Amino acid sequence: MRMTKSKTVSAVGGPLVVALPSKGRLQEPALAFLKDCGLRVSAASTRDYRASIAGLKDVQVLYLSASEIPEHIIRGDVHLGLTGEDVLAEALGALNEDQPARRPITAFRLAFGGARLVVAVPAAWLDVATMTDLGEVARGFYRAHGRRLRVATKYERLTRAFFARAGLSDYLIVPSAGATEAAPAAGLADLIVDITTTGATLASNHLKVIGDGQILASQAGLFVSRAPCVPWSATAIAGLREILDRVDARLAAAGLSIIEAAIPSATGREPSKAVLAALNTRLVSLGCTGIEAFPRAVAMASGDALTMMKLRAECPDAAIYAVARALSEVGAREVRVQNLDYVFRPDDTTFARIAETLTLKA
């Protein structure tokens, strides 16, 4: 899909266009992540490559192949895309160094879709453990057989750049359209450059990763186009802001909980400043933030009032037990813990950073 090109920000106009993976290893975790951020994506039908996000009427979703998404972002066909850093790096290899204005902005590096792009050779090549070894084999192979080693890959640009840095030139790229790891066994290639997560698929195809053959470590990312032709309408900017703010808030809340406790005063009076200061210091040392402590009178059955200290703090999940123990040691009879879903912080947002880079006005 090609969007109408415009170099100005219109007051009204088209929706924000977001590209998501239509299949593959990133699709399910991408949709699950967005849903976790309160951004539920729903397609009109299983055959429809267009979708919407519940509650965001000015956002249009396009399902595309993860490997195609970078090209659409770079060209400015879409405003925002979720894909792997590996395929984006491969696509960026087509850009000249004097074209930085077309390189997408990384809004978020996401904690899923982790993988490595590696050089893998047959496990039977016992003498090949490094790229230097591979270079020697390639030169010897050419002298002995009169042809270059064949390298099957979907990452031609990254492979050429990596091999050039390693000083390896006696090879021939074999473009891979299917299961790259099967190419050597099928006689279509001698070695491969491919993405791997656990290495199990490579091992099952009797391949091994060269010790210094990692080209890059990749994960999923959310990328914003900065192609000069992108039509940033007022509605598109508003959609971008809501999506980025929601992701910011979800990531800020990850691993945090709210912890609350009521601590009775042994004397019936308000706890001293020294007690509060000591407790605050202890909680801060355990990683708590946003600590609030204030006196609260609780009516008793006898008609008397018991002075309590009400405490509330944001607590890292890993420290919950230690914080609960610290509170019980100062008399808390009950400690309550609630999960945090979102933490919206208006200062220093991802949207503000990107809007400044793109000179957008919300």
**What's this model's pTM, rounded to 2 decimal places?**
0.83
Segment 88-113 mean pLDDT: 81
Q: How far is CA 55 from each of CA 24, 39, 117, 212, 350, rounded to the nearest angstrom? A: 27, 8, 38, 48, 21
Domain 115-217 = CATH 3.40.190.10: yes
Q: Which residue has the higher pLDDT, 213 or 10?
A: 213
pLDDT score of 360 more than 90: no
CA–CA gap between residue 63 and residue 69 (Å, rounded): 9
pLDDT digits (tens, 9 = 90+) for 179-192: 999 999 999 999 99
Q: Please provide the distance, in angstroms rounded to a whole number, between the alpha carbons at the two ends of the chain.
A: 26
Q: Categorize the per-residue pLDDT at 274 as very low, low, confident or very high, splitting at 50, 70 and 90.
A: confident
Q: Categorize the per-residue pLDDT at 279 as very low, low, confident or very high, splitting at 50, 70 and 90.
A: confident
pLDDT score of 266: 58
Domain ranges for the chain: 16-112+219-253+347-358, 115-217, 256-339
Segment 268-272 mean pLDDT: 56
pLDDT score of 43: 74
pLDDT digits (tens, 9 = 90+) for 309-327: 888 999 999 999 999 999 9
Q: Which residue has the higher pLDDT, 243 or 302?
A: 243
CATH of the domain spanning 256-339: 3.30.70.120
CATH number among 3.40.190.10, 3.30.300.130, 3.40.50.1970, 3.50.50.60, domain 16-112+219-253+347-358: 3.40.190.10
Q: Which residue has the higher pLDDT, 309 or 170?
A: 170
Q: Which residue has the higher pLDDT, 135 or 304?
A: 135
pLDDT score of 8 more than 50: no
pLDDT score of 19 more than 90: yes
pLDDT score of 338 more than 50: yes
Q: Categorize the per-residue pLDDT at 102 as very low, low, confident or very high, splitting at 50, 70 and 90.
A: confident
pLDDT score of 101 more than 70: no
pLDDT score of 5 more than 50: no
pLDDT score of 148: 93
Domains 16-112+219-253+347-358 and 256-339 share a fold: no
Q: Any residues with CB less than 8 A from the CB of 217 and at least 6 apart, and which?
A: 114, 115, 116, 117
